[in-house]
Chain A
Amino acid sequence: MSKSEHGAAVDRGNRPLSPHLQVYRPQITSVLSIFHRVTGVGNSIGAVLIAWWFIAAATGREAFAIIDGLLTSWIGHLILIGFAFSLCYHLCNGIRHLLWDAGYGFELDEATMSGYIMLIAAGILAVCLILIGALS
């Protein structure tokens, strides 16, 4: 039981509270939005690795060898490939969010379409990035 604005008890029953994520059917728009957050947190971890790499490079050969050894190991390659996809996703979807902020593309069909375009663009960019890294 909770109280109404005037202090009277109101039986809110057993109704679900909004917005409970698990009662919604996953949709492309909501799933992409959640992954924007997930990739944002993931990219933060990647940024720490990048910072470590630069600080180590400035410190000297020995310090650099540690982070270089980590990133060039198989687990390091796995992290970097994941980071490339995460970064490209967040960048492309971020542009989509900025366009919304500017007032464009709010219609449901537009938001769905831009979501698929963004996914394809992010995938292509990530593969290009990985290829540049692998071939250089």
Chain B
Amino acid sequence: MSADMRTSRAKVRGLGSAKSGTEHFISQRISAIGLVFLTPFFIVPFVVALGQPWGEVISIYKSPMNAIIAALFLLAVFHHLKLGLQTVIEDYVHSPAWRTGSLLAVNLVATGLGFAAAFSVAMIAFSV
């Protein structure tokens, strides 16, 4: 007889003892699929703009298509890298303080930079 007092149904309900995890996996794949399509359309104008004078860069990102794709790309990329770095930290950083600290830092920096970069693209697109 099993020493486990929980019924089979109780074990399979919800998301198991980890309580979460599948939404992390799924969100990583959804952002990956989005990035497969966004990356080519972002990277070509970006590589063309790299090294150009400031005024030229501004005029490239005044084009609505370039700006919309760049903003979407930046939001998706920072979401995707936040999830990826979180996995790497969870795999290799074991000391509770370092683990919590680095997870917190990655989460805040990735969210903040992603927003700031996308907002900057909007500022360029809407500037006169």
Q: Which residues of A contact B (CB under 8 A)?
A: 37, 40-41, 43-44, 47-48, 50-51, 53-55, 57-59, 61, 64-65, 68, 71-72, 80, 87, 91, 94-95, 97-98, 101, 129, 132-133, 136
- A52 to chain B minimum Cβ distance, whole angstroms, is 8
Q: Is the interface of B mostly helix, strand, loop or mixed?
A: helix
| Binary interface encoding of chain B residues 35-76 relative to chain A, with 1 for a CB under 8 A from any of its CBs, else 0 | 110010001101110110010011001000000001000100
A61 touches B54 (CB 8 A): yes
A47 touches B32 (CB 8 A): no
A57 touches B88 (CB 8 A): no
A94 touches B32 (CB 8 A): yes
Any chain A CB within 8 A of the CB of B15?
no
B47 touches A136 (CB 8 A): yes
A57 touches B46 (CB 8 A): no
Number of B residues with CB within 8 Å of any CB on chain A: 35
B120 touches A55 (CB 8 A): yes
- A62 to chain B minimum Cβ distance, whole angstroms, is 9
Q: Which 8 pairs show the lowest CB-CB distances between chains A and B?
A: A58-B120, A51-B117, A58-B123, A133-B47, A44-B81, A136-B48, A54-B120, A51-B113
List residues of chain B with CB within 8 A of the CB of A101.
29
B51 touches A71 (CB 8 A): yes
Any chain A CB within 8 A of the CB of B101?
no
- The complex places the Cα of A80 from the Cα of B127 at a distance, in Å, of 28
List residues of chain B with CB within 8 A of the CB of A51.
74, 78, 113-114, 116-117
List residues of chain B with CB within 8 A of the CB of A59.
120
List residues of chain A with CB within 8 A of the CB of B36.
91, 94-95, 98
Q: Which residue of A lies closest to B29 (CB)?
A: A101
Residue of A64, A97, A133 contacting most chain B CB atoms (<10 Å): A133
List residues of chain B with CB within 8 A of the CB of A91.
35-36, 39
